Amino acid sequence: MVVHIYGLPVDMDPILHLADQYGLAVIEDAAELIGGTYNDKVCGSFGTISTFSFYPNKHITTGEGGMVVTNDFALAERCRSLRNLCFQPKKRFVHDELGWNYRMTNLQAALGLAQLERLEEVLQRKREIGFIYQSLLSHHQSIALPIDHTNYALNLYWVFGVVLQHNQTPADVVMEHLAKAGIGTRPFFYPLHQQPVLLESGVLQQQSLPVSEHLAQSGFYLPSGIAITNHQINRSADALLEVINTL
């Protein structure tokens, strides 16, 4: 299972080689790479099954919901059945399996399709936002910035994440100071191996994964919705630098 995250895709070739070598299925989470590409091939087209999210912070949103795509006709029919309570074609109210009510409404679909028509405009603006933040913050050695590109992809800047370096003040303290200045931020994802519910259930045991722990403690992302103005981007960057220099 691969998860494209924060605007850059996973390096897919080694994953696909491994899957082919051992006969494995690939589940591709492309929720944060809607419109993105890997070596000029669209993200979401690599998996045996690929998933997209249309949550409000994604490049295309229907309020909630998402989409599953596959080239496997049997898997597609299986997904259609599970998302629709496993109704049988000829015995609608007789159920051999448990399914879910995951149907998307026509209103939600219309909202998503309308946004799909302007996806390129959205992606262009997200990269512009990323470029501006890069130019404003790249000179500060205490902040690690996103990679703008790799040899196989451009960063779409789904969000603009920063990581505080050199054992500075924890991210949550910096975020609190930014909030007082009127700048909204969001933390990075919390490490899976430290999730209380998984530890308490015994699914995971206590272990040390220092890279994940460092990112969770020191990383957060700045305002980068497509409605943000260049003036607001400058204000957010200035506020961040002022807080870091003060602390």
Q: How many domains does the chain have?
A: 2
- Strands 41-42 vs 49-53: parallel, antiparallel or unpaired: unpaired
Q: Is 9 found in the same domain as 63?
A: yes
Of 101, 116, 131, the last residue of a domain is 116
Of 58, 91, 116, the last residue of a domain is 116
Q: What's the rounded Cα separation, in Å, for the pair 22 and 115? A: 39
Q: Is 240 found in the same domain as 167?
A: yes
- Paired residues of 154 in beta bridges: 149
Q: Is 90 found in the same domain as 129?
A: no
Q: Is 124 found in the same domain as 234?
A: yes
Q: Confidence band (pLDDT; 50, 70, 90) for 206?
A: confident
Give the chain's mean pLDDT.
95
Q: Is 127 found in the same domain as 241?
A: yes
Work out the average pLDDT over 175-194.
Answer: 96
The values of phi and psi at residue 206, to 5°, are -60, 130
Q: Confidence band (pLDDT; 50, 70, 90) for 166?
A: confident
Of 116, 132, 164, the last residue of a domain is 116
**Which CATH number do you get for residue 23?**
3.40.640.10
Q: Is 9 found in the same domain as 97?
A: yes
Q: Is 128 found in the same domain as 105?
A: no
CB atoms < 10 A from the CB of 113, how many?
Answer: 11
Q: Is 99 found in the same domain as 10?
A: yes
**Structure tokens, 91:** 């015995």
Q: Is 181 found in the same domain as 137?
A: yes
What 3-state DSSP class applies to 19? helix
pLDDT at position 247, please? 86
**Structure tokens, 167:** 């054992």
- Structural domain including 17 reads 2-116
Q: Is 21 found in the same domain as 46?
A: yes
Q: Confidence band (pLDDT; 50, 70, 90) for 238?
A: very high
Give yes or no for residue 102 having a pLDDT over 90: yes
Q: Is 162 found in the same domain as 238?
A: yes
**Which CATH number do you get for residue 216?**
3.90.1150.10
pTM recorded for the entire structure = 0.91
Q: Is 60 found in the same domain as 11?
A: yes
